Structure 1
Amino acid sequence: MSVSMGKVFPKLKPSTNDDDSSSSFVFRPDLNIRLICPNCKNPRPKIIEEYANGDLVCGDCGLVLGDHMIDTRPEWRSFQTDDGEKDVSRVGAAADPLLQGAALETTISSKGRGELAKTHFKATVDKNTVNLKHSLHEIETMCTSMDLSQEVIDTTKQLYKRTVEEKIVRGKIKIAFYAACIYIACRINKVARSFKEICASTQVSKKHLARAVKNLVATFELNMGLMTSEDLMTRFCNRLGLTPDVERICSKISQRIEELGFLTGRTQNTVAAATIHFVTNSLNISILIENIALVSGMAVPSIKSVSKMIYAEKTKLADLIGDQGEKADVVYSNVE
């Protein structure tokens, strides 16, 4: 750098001492350092930092005082989100680990150069990556509509990516494997979702869903465990607005029913709905059976039939219900 630094030399200031008649001097240096252009030697130089060229220039005479200057300003770049808001970020947009590795990519904006952007997209973007991205987006939409947590969504995406890598989906119904991955992810994360709920949310038949789940379980050797009616009880009771005490009684009765085994072969949704119907009738809680059917996704006749079977075994459940179980006698005496 050809910048001269003008220093102001230390000044000598007298220091008097009453005990010493002789005068002594103490150095008091002026530590201010000024950058002065060697050409114009202006005591008050106007130095300009040209970040575009990386130069340090004298504003009076135009002499380049230094080059290869490092720009220390923030490298903010503006990226637009899906909502239309600007996301100020120092780096590029976040890369999806499910779609690509750590390699850098070049993206050409479509504004003003549409044909170039299309050509670059066709030449660089893998078709399989585009299809996978579209599938993961559809899976996230399905999971969001079912009010599933982000943990379940991430597990579903990872499971589907493995399914694509193993080429299990090829030549088969893709949406059936979406639903199968969602069902397995729910079971892995201990989130109670029945076959019927998954079928209703994804518009996949029970036959195709069962076949896809069986295929994935056999391929990846998954051990999901069995789902019980007790797993569904909390969600059903919450949606019906029942208190925690009632929910606790329903869960205990559901567990007792499973231990006794007199409802073996019935679906978990039916057992959970019938248990809620039995408990609410026994405790004289006004809950319409149509609402229970709507929450559980089961038919009203099925709920009534299974609920009557539970009532027939009320003596084995008396310790959980108490004396209030007699209130259900009038209700079940009219059930055919």
Structure 2
Amino acid sequence: MAYAQPFPLAAPPKPEQTFYGPDLAVRLICPDCRDPNPNIIEEFGSGDLVCGTCGLVLGDRVVDTRSEWRTFANDEGDDPSRVGGPSDPLLEGIGQLDTIISFRDGGSGMARELQRAASRAQNTRSERNLLSAFRDISSWCDQFSLPKTISDIAKQLYKRSDEEKLLRGKPLEAVIAACIFIACRQAHVPRTFREICNLTHVSKKVLGQCYKALEQAFNLSPGAQNHNSTNGTQVISTGPEDLLIRYCNHLDLPPYFHGICKDIVVEARNRGIADGRSPISIAGGAIFFTCFLLGKPKSLREICTVAGVSEGTVKLVYKLYCADKDKLVKQKWIDEGKANLDRLPPIEVAVAK
């Protein structure tokens, strides 16, 4: 007996999903102008929607969606800074959020007294000294054409020496000069003692005392290439080859001159020629020697003025180099026609030229 197959039950209908969204067919037009393409202007200053054709106010309390900070940039475009320039981590809030009172009150003098009182209350004497030292460091580094990296390192060294009272009783200029000198060595920008003394007008004796004190306190070991493992500071003493490129630029010598002069200085040091002489004396004598060797003579006075050494020291280094000229001059320089040993005159003739 066959049975009829029952029909399957129909699935229950799914509830319709309601879509919520803005009605894009609704447009805001001016009831007076009834322009299909209205010119609606948002006045953020007053928070109103205004018809640009007739001036009718169409709405109020408009939310300003633009940036909430003012634009302080000198060029066109928005300035992404909301709080001004970055704070200096070395100052730790000193002199960065102060209130300055103007003293132009028409001559009564009350505002000037308030300004002095506020200045005394805001910063202590140590803070004022720190700000003054930082300004001097920045000013001297700018005069010496030193990069900002050296200025920052010098400020860190001075702040540490001031906090630990390492150079109590020493002149402020001498402490700043020693910090700049150490910063130049750490940043591999060689400057000599004499150059720092001429910049800061500090005597070489006082500068040396401050440098020795900071060297012992910061565990900075001088030498050709010494690395400080205590605080991760690398200090490299100034060698004659480090000074050559700057001296050659001041003397307006060709680019290849520096490479040959540097090789002569390194070879002379390896052979022990002119050992014990100061780096600036060796650099000046090497330039004087190389000028005659390559046929680019410069007067002795020019070289001594650039290097900051006396003529006697340059003459002595020149004599020592001429005595071993066969060991210092490479054969390939002669084969290429750059160098000629016959161009090296005796010291009396060289000085006369």
TM range (shorter): 0.7 to 0.9
Q: 1:119 to 1:78 in 2, by over 3 A?
A: farther
Find the aligned partners of 1:120 and 1:70 in 2 and give their Cα distance.
38
- 1:210 is matched with which residue: 208, 211, 224? 208
Note the alpha carbon deviations across 1:118-166, whole angstroms, 9 max, x for none. 3322222232221111111111111122111111111111111111111
Contact 1:308 1:332 in 2 (8 A): no
Which residues in structure 2 correspond to 1:73-222 (within 5 Å)?
Answer: 74-76=68-70, 90-92=82-84, 94-101=86-93, 105-110=97-102, 112=105, 113-222=111-220
Find the aligned partners of 1:261 and 1:164 in 2 and give their Cα distance.
42
Find the aligned partners of 1:187 and 1:261 in 2 and give their Cα distance.
25
Find the aligned partners of 1:300 and 1:48 in 2 and give their Cα distance.
77
| Paired residue type of 2:92 | Q
Find the aligned partners of 1:94 and 1:120 in 2 and give their Cα distance.
24
Q: 1:104 to 1:187 in 2, by over 3 A?
A: closer
SS of the residue corresponding to residue 31 of structure 1 reads coil
Contact 2:304 2:314 in 1 (8 A): yes
Higher relative strand content: 1
Q: 1:236 to 1:178 in 2, by over 3 A?
A: same
Contact 2:167 2:213 in 1 (8 A): no
Find the aligned partners of 2:116 and 2:61 in 1 and give their Cα distance.
43
Q: CA deviation at 1:203?
A: 1.4
Note the alpha carbon deviations across 1:174-222, whole angstroms, 9 max, x for none. 2111111111111111111111211222111221111111111111112
SS of the residue corresponding to residue 189 of structure 2 reads coil
1:326 equivalent in alignment to 2:342? yes
- 2:300 is matched with which residue: 289, 293, 309? 289
Contact 1:79 1:89 in 2 (8 A): no
Find the aligned partners of 2:349 and 2:67 in 1 and give their Cα distance.
82
Q: CA deviation at 1:30?
A: 3.7
Which residues in structure 2 correspond to 1:296-307 (within 5 Å)?
Answer: 296-307=307-318
Find the aligned partners of 2:206 and 2:219 in 1 and give their Cα distance.
19
2:32 is aligned to none
Q: 1:94 to 1:287 in 2, by over 3 A?
A: same
Q: 1:330 to 1:115 in 2, by over 3 A?
A: closer
TM-score (norm 1): 0.73
Contact 1:199 1:206 in 2 (8 A): yes
Listed as ranges, the gaps of 5+ residues in structure 1 are 1-27, 35-46, 57-64, 81-86
1:316 equivalent in alignment to 2:327? yes
Q: CA deviation at 1:97?
A: 2.1
Q: CA RMSD in A?
A: 3.8
* Count of aligned residue pairs for this structure pair: 288
Find the aligned partners of 2:201 and 2:24 in 1 and give their Cα distance.
84
Listed as ranges, the gaps of 5+ residues in structure 2 are 1-22, 30-41, 49-59, 106-110, 221-227, 229-234
- 1:244 is matched with which residue: 247, 250, 255? 255
SS of the residue corresponding to residue 329 of structure 2 reads helix
Contact 1:311 1:332 in 2 (8 A): no
Q: 1:70 to 1:262 in 2, by over 3 A?
A: same
Q: 1:73 to 1:265 in 2, by over 3 A?
A: closer
2:26 is aligned to 31
Find the aligned partners of 2:321 and 2:346 in 1 and give their Cα distance.
15
Find the aligned partners of 2:26 and 2:288 in 1 and give their Cα distance.
88
Find the aligned partners of 1:142 and 1:77 in 2 and give their Cα distance.
33
Contact 2:300 2:351 in 1 (8 A): no
| Identity over aligned pairs, percent | 32
Q: CA deviation at 1:48?
A: 8.6
Find the aligned partners of 1:324 and 1:180 in 2 and give their Cα distance.
43
Contact 1:281 1:331 in 2 (8 A): no
Q: 1:210 to 1:286 in 2, by over 3 A?
A: same
Q: CA deviation at 1:228?
A: 1.3
SS of the residue corresponding to residue 120 of structure 2 reads helix
Find the aligned partners of 2:146 and 2:133 in 1 and give their Cα distance.
17
Find the aligned partners of 2:125 and 2:65 in 1 and give their Cα distance.
40
Q: 1:29 to 1:149 in 2, by over 3 A?
A: closer
